[in-house]
Amino acid sequence: MRQRELATLFDFNYWAQRRILATAARLTDAQFTLRSVIVGRDLRATLVHTLDVECSWRLRLQRRPEDEWRKTLATTDYRNVAALTEHWKRDEAEMRAWIATLDDKTLAAGADLDPKEQYPIWFYLLHMVTHSQQHRAESAQLLTQLGHSPGDIDFLDYADWARGSG
């Protein structure tokens, strides 16, 4: 995968996440923390988990100390959507800045994380996007059940938005 394509996938990732967060901001605190029997956790926990995985994989791939990337984000640190959105904005800026430094050769190189995980770096970055998409779908389902659909969050909806026709 080339850097330009990867940057587009992360742009889609953040576009869709902003739609989820903007919709979640219309919920009451009780709705934000209402446990779902379908997803197995509330919307807040689902979103915090999504952010946590994005943060931890970035830190791990950047070869940051293990105590940084092993640290789990505490759901209770995010009392409301605004607190979560603020953290996500900071992480997005850090991710975009890092991705901009990766060239195609670096993306194709092995990440060499441990003997059981011998994939090119781009595999892990693609995993981050698809993992986030899975949990965004769950979040969209939870929001829709609460009467607040985020609307369409597919890649081609993003593409239409990005070219100014969406």
CATH number of 3-162: 1.20.120.450
* pLDDT tens profile 147-166: 999 999 999 999 999 999 76
**What angle separates helix 81-101 from helix 43-61, to the nearest 10 degrees?**
20
Asked if 108 and 95 touch (Cβ cutoff 8 Å), the reply is: no
Asked if 145 and 159 touch (Cβ cutoff 8 Å), the reply is: no
Instruction: Note the residue count of the chain.
Output: 166
Give the Cα separation of 15 and 143 in Å (integer): 17
Reading the block at residue 70, the tokens are 């092993």
* pLDDT tens profile 73-132: 999 999 999 999 999 999 999 999 999 999 999 999 988 888 787 899 999 999 999 999
Reading the block at residue 49, the tokens are 């988990």
Asked if 73 and 53 touch (Cβ cutoff 8 Å), the reply is: no
